[in-house]
Amino acid sequence: MVETTGGGPQDGATEVLDRPLPEGVRRRVVQIVADGFGGLTVGELPAQLRQYARFAPNRRAKFAGNAMAAALETDPLFRQRIGEKLREAQPELTGALDSGSPPPAADPLDVAAAAYVLRPAGWVKLVTAAGEEAQRADAERADEETRAELERLRAELDRAREHTRSETERLRAELEAARKETDSLHRKLRSALSDVKRGEAALRKLRAETESVRAEGHAQLSAAESESRRLKARLGETEAALEAARRAAREGRSVEDMRVRLLLDTVLDAAQGLRRELALPPVSVRPAETVDAVEPGRMTPKDIAARALSENDPAIVDQLLALPQAHLVVDGYNVTKTGYPQMPLEKQRLRLLGQLAQLAAQTGAEVTCVFDGAELAAPVLLAPPRGVRVLFSKPGVTADELIRQLVRAEPPGRPVIVASTDREVADGVARAGARPVASAVLLKRLS
């Protein structure tokens, strides 16, 4: 609704626009304010627009458009100043508006924007007419664009239909070819599956035969290895016996004579030791004194048993070595790796041999130390200490087997002590008549 009053060019100041300002008119109004903005001093500007005083016109229209439109609507003095700047910039258009006859050839948006700023009589009609004109122009442009878009879409639809038709024909041909190829592949697949099943059956049969042959081969190999080890052991024993026989022959006596002589010396030394140990005249022994009983003031059998040494007592080594013609055989690496395994092998050998030399000097017993020589890459340069015989096993012969050969070489009845923690070695020498002693007990005695 528009309200008007008479009174000249400024009568339009009382008119009120009852609808939003058309967008096209609003943009022209903001541009007019931005152009006239620069001709005003900071004091002539509304307070809310003074921060944009240094902006260029384009930047004012971009960043201060809403603020300038609001100030133009609410501040009559600011609108009057912008109108004066507009009259200076466009005198013909503003003069025509003041006279009430806008130029017919002028842009309706420019006419409406100028009328909105100057507010002549009938300015609301001009703004409304410009908005309607702009809407009609926009509608016409939209119709034109819609028709053009419709034509374009129809053309695209026709092309799409044609493309779809040709693509459908092509896909049908490809589908038919793929169907034929699939049938062929199915036939080939069935044939291949049949071949695979036959191959799997043959493979299972072959695997079973292979496993059987492998198991038989393993059994034969194990038997051959066992037989080879047995033959090697027998060969080693034979070679050792042959070498001993050769040495005995060179010395002018047989091995049996040497064994008998050594056993005789052992018996004689044992008899002399018993005689010294008993120190009793033969005539002082009476048959009644042989009866097992406890006399007053004498030790009981329990007390006598209490004097027996434990298997882990190092003093048992001295008792055994005190026997006549005692021979101590030491499993070298078994003892050193029990006592000081962190040391290098060379230092282990030197330390053990030094301790055994002291033991031999203290007890007078025969001492033989055996080391495993199977892993030696070269001969060991070692000077055996006094009183200790040092032996290394030959290739293919373990130190355990060499120890058993040494025990079997001794005559029955001679006290032979074997120091080793290896249970197999201990059991073997015990069956041969030797006395096994744990490596830890020997180490305690040596330390």
What is the average pLDDT value for the chain, to the nearest integer?
79
Candidate ranges 88-92, 163-167, 247-251, 267-271; pick with highest mean pLDDT: 163-167
What is the predicted pLDDT for the residue at 34? Answer: 76
What is the predicted pLDDT for the residue at 116? Answer: 76
**Which of these ranges, 41-45, 163-167, 373-377, has the smallest mean pLDDT?**
373-377
**Which of these ranges, 44-58, 199-213, 348-362, 405-419, has the smallest mean pLDDT?**
44-58
Structure tokens at 52: 């944009």
pLDDT at 435 > cutoff 90: yes
What is the predicted pLDDT for the residue at 117? Answer: 77
pLDDT tens for each residue of 201-259: 999 999 999 988 989 888 898 888 888 888 888 888 888 878 876 776 666 556 666 77
Give the whole-number percent of the chain exceeding pLDDT 70: 78
CB 386 within 8 A of CB 364: no
**Which of these ranges, 3-7, 345-349, 387-391, 413-417, has the smallest mean pLDDT?**
3-7
What is the predicted pLDDT for the residue at 252? Answer: 55
Give the whole-number percent of the chain exceeding pLDDT 90: 24
Sign of the alpha-carbon torsion through 350, 356, 361, 364: negative
- Give the residues across from 436 on adjacent strands: 418
pLDDT tens for each residue of 274-302: 666 666 455 454 444 444 443 444 444 44
What is the predicted pLDDT for the residue at 251? Answer: 62
What is the predicted pLDDT for the residue at 291? Answer: 43
What is the predicted pLDDT for the residue at 280? Answer: 47
The rounded distance, in Å, linking the Cα atoms of 128 and 315 is 132
DSSP string, 288-332: GGGS----TTSPPHHHHHHTSPPTT-THHHHHHHTSTT-EEEEEH
The rounded distance, in Å, linking the Cα atoms of 209 and 220 is 16
**Mean pLDDT for the stretch of residues 321-325:** 88
pLDDT tens for each residue of 377-423: 666 667 788 889 999 988 888 889 999 999 998 888 889 999 998 88
Domain annotation for the chain: domains and CATH numbers: 9-140 (no CATH), 312-446 (3.40.50)
Q: Which residue has the higher pLDDT, 14 or 287?
A: 14
